[in-house]
Amino acid sequence: MTTIGRRPQTIAWLALVAALFFFPYFDTWPGFAWFLRNLEETTGLNLSVFEVTTFAVWLVILTGLNLLTGYSGQISLGHSALVAAGGYIAAILLDPDNSTEVPVAVAVLGAGLGACAIGFAIGVPALRLSGPYLAIATLALIVSLPQLLKLDNIAEWTGGASGINLPTPHAPSFLDGVVDDHQWLYYSVMFPAVIMTVLAWNLMRSRVGRAFIALRDSEIGAQQMGVNVALYKTLAFGLSALYAGVGGGLFAYQQQFVSPESFGVFQSIQLLVAVVIGGLASILGSILAAAFFTFQVGVIGRLTEVIPAVDRLRWAFYGVLLIVMMVSLPTGAAGLVRRLARLRLADVVSAWRSGDVGRAISSLRERPAVVRILGAPSMKQTPTMETKQGGDDRSD
């Protein structure tokens, strides 16, 4: 699939793992610290250990969303609600005001399982709902969520409008001096995040992933191919809810705070924007989505200092980005990366070197990947007769 050899690939992976593992210690090297500071001052990109930990939290959440919307094609605006569920479950379990001392891992796991149960519960009625109806129902869910969280009857647990505050997590005593609090936070969040991402990647390459994609492309078609639609649709909801719940739990743990304002319809849209930009139906897409989601805050903030209007126009920017992506690049940044990787640049480069620029350009233009991006050369391209119903019209 790629043109890079086996050995360089393994080395690249090992380098990546090493970078992830030692990242919290990079800033002890003054050169890197200087680089980070300047990066933030100029572009607003905040690559501190805490922010990268935040990235890991959203990675879990967005991977879950991608499983549901990207792979399985279900538009659910309720993902944010499941994240909230996970966050609140973990927060309640970790709240020092409540009696028992619950270890963080248990709390996060509990959050995941709780949200997963809710997800399966949503999945069952969702079986009967097709695209737009599901979106409507989940939109109603997410808009009513803040109201639910502020209800007087349960405010005792949820903290009502002010939410729940959690104590700062500390590294266990035997690691004192080896890791500081932020570094400990990084490891305790990044580790499960990486595991869950790898798990998702494997799962999507297995039969489950194929079933999800069949489900997305055509429920009726999938059924006729022998895919148990009910099972996989429910599984999609449950699985994505698990990720949302774990992500929500990690969110509560890391941010040390949950409130009704932390979640809502605009966050749901923001999550959707992120996965669309990152790339639907792609684990790489989820990673890019999490990167976008986390780091754009800083970049937009920086931009606002230069152009004040940006602050209020932030959502217009996201909206336009979403629309443009849907129209021109539905596979997102990950799709672009995949297409560029398929471009065999070696031939083009050699043609360039031999001075034959014209031939290099035309050979580049004819590459299937480029054709797919830019359309067939010198052929008039017009919309075809493909319809949403009526099956496959491309028989001849």
Partner 1 sequence: MLKLQDVHASYGPVLALRGVSLEVPKGGIATVLGANGAGKSSTLRAISGLLHPSSGVIELDGQRIDRLQPERIVRLGISQVPEGRQIFTDFTVGENLRLGAYARNDRDGVRRDLERVFSYFPVLRERRGQTAGLLSGGEQQMLAIGRALMARPRVLLLDEPSLGLAPLVVREIFRIIKAINEEEGLTTLLVEQDASLALGVAQHGYVLETGSVVLHDSAENLRRDDSVRRSYLGF
Partner 2 sequence: MDEFEEFAQQVVTGASIGSIYAIVALAIVMIYRSTSVVNFAQGELAMFTTFISWSFIQSLDYFWASFALTILVAFFLGGALEVLVMRPVEQAPHLNSIVVTLGLLAVFNSLAFWRYGPVPRAFPKPEILSGDPITVGSVTISQLNLGIIVIALLIMAALFGLFNYTKLGLAMRATAQNPVASRLVGINVSRMLALGWALSAAVGAIGGMLTAASLTLSVDMMVAILIFAFAGAVLGGLDSPAGAIVGGLGVGILQALAGNYISSQVDIMAAFVIIIAVLMLRPTGLFGRRVVRRV
- Could you tell me if 136 and 144 are in contact, meaning their C-beta atoms sit under 8 angstroms apart? no
Out of 83, 273, 287, 334, the only residue in the binding site for partner 2 (CB under 8 A) is 273
State yes or no: residue 330 binds partner 1 (CB under 8 A).
no
Give the CB-side neighbour count of residue 126, counting CA atoms within 13 A: 31
Residue 373 to residue 361: CA distance in whole angstroms:
15
Instruction: Using the minimum distance from each CB to partner 2, give the nearer residue, 353 or 388.
Output: 388
**Smaller CB separation from partner 1, 349 or 361:** 361
Cβ nearer to partner 2, comparing 69 with 286: 69
State yes or no: residue 328 binds partner 1 (CB under 8 A). Answer: no
Residue 265 interacting with partner 2 (CB under 8 A): yes
**Minimum CB–partner distance for residue 200 and partner 2 (Å):** 20
Residue 178: what residue type? V
- Which residues ranging from 148 to 177 are in contact with partner 2 (CB under 8 A)? 148, 150-152
Q: Nearest-CA neighbor of 70 among 293, 335, 317, 297?
A: 335
In angstroms, the CA 59 to CA 190 distance is: 9
Going by C-alpha positions, the residue among 243, 221, 219, 242 that lies closest to residue 231 is 219
Residue 160 burial (C-beta neighbours within 10 Å; 0-12, 13-18, 19+): middle
- Residue 258: φ, ψ to 5°: -135, 145
H or E element, residue 229 = helix 229-255
Does 14 participate in binding partner 2 (rule CB under 8 A)?
Answer: no
- Give the N- to C-terminal CA distance of the chain in Å, as an integer: 30
Give the binding range for partner 1 (CB under 8 A) out of 76-84, 96-104, 167-175, 371-379.
371-379
> What is the smallest separation between the CB atom of 14 and partner 2, expressed in angstroms?
38
Q: Which does 382 bind (CB under 5 to 8 A by kind): partner 1, partner 2, none?
A: partner 1
Residue 395 binds partner 2, judged by CB under 8 A: no
Q: Give the x-and-dash track for 109-138 against partner 1 (CB under 8 A).
A: ------------------------------
**Residues whose CB falls within 8 Å of the CB of residue 79, separated by 6 or more in sequence, listed in order:** 61, 64, 65, 68, 240, 244, 268, 271
- The yes or no reply on residue 376 touching partner 1 (CB under 8 A) is yes
Residue 323 interacting partner from partner 1, partner 2, none (CB closer than 5 to 8 Å by kind): partner 2
The pair of structure tokens assigned to 299 is 């970049």
Stretch that binds partner 1, among 86-94, 135-143, 279-287, 372-380 (CB under 8 A): 372-380
Pick one of 14, 105, 320, 374: the residue that binds partner 2 (CB under 8 A).
320
Q: Among residues 170 and 372, whose Cβ is nearest to partner 1?
A: 372
330 counts as binding partner 2 under rule CB under 8 A: yes
Of the candidate spans 34-42, 72-80, 202-210, 388-396, the one that interacts with partner 1 by CB under 8 A turns out to be 388-396
Asked if residue 144 binds partner 2 (CB under 8 A), the reply is yes
Query: How far apart are alpha carbons 143 and 283 in whole angstroms?
Result: 29
Helix (H/G/I), strand (E/B), else coil: 386: coil
Site for partner 2 (CB under 8 A): which residue of 6, 390, 392, 396?
390
Residue 375 in the binding site for partner 2 (CB under 8 A): no
Helical spans, DSSP H, in 49-180: 49-65, 79-94, 104-126, 131-150, 152-158
CB of 392 to partner 1, least distance (A): 9
* Residues 6 or more apart whose Cβ sits within 8 Å of residue 179: 24, 171, 187
- Say how far apart CA 170 and CA 178 lie, in whole Å: 12
Q: Which residue in the set 22, 353, 381, 388 belongs to the binding site for partner 1 (CB under 8 A)?
A: 381
19: exposed, middle or buried (Cβ count in 10 Å: 0-12, 13-18, 19+): exposed
Does residue 394 interact with partner 2 by CB under 8 A? no
> What span, in angstroms and rounded, lies between the C-alpha atoms of 258 and 91?
7
Q: Binding partner of residue 376 among partner 2, partner 1, none, CB under 5 to 8 Å per kind? A: partner 1
Chain residues that interact with partner 2, rule: CB under 8 A? 69, 73, 75, 125, 128-129, 131-133, 135-137, 139-141, 143-144, 147-148, 150-152, 216, 220, 265-266, 269, 272-273, 276, 309, 312-323, 326-328, 330, 383-390, 393
Using CB under 8 A as the criterion, which residues of the chain lie in contact with partner 1 when the complex forms?
Answer: 368, 371-372, 375-376, 379-382, 384-385, 390-391, 393-396
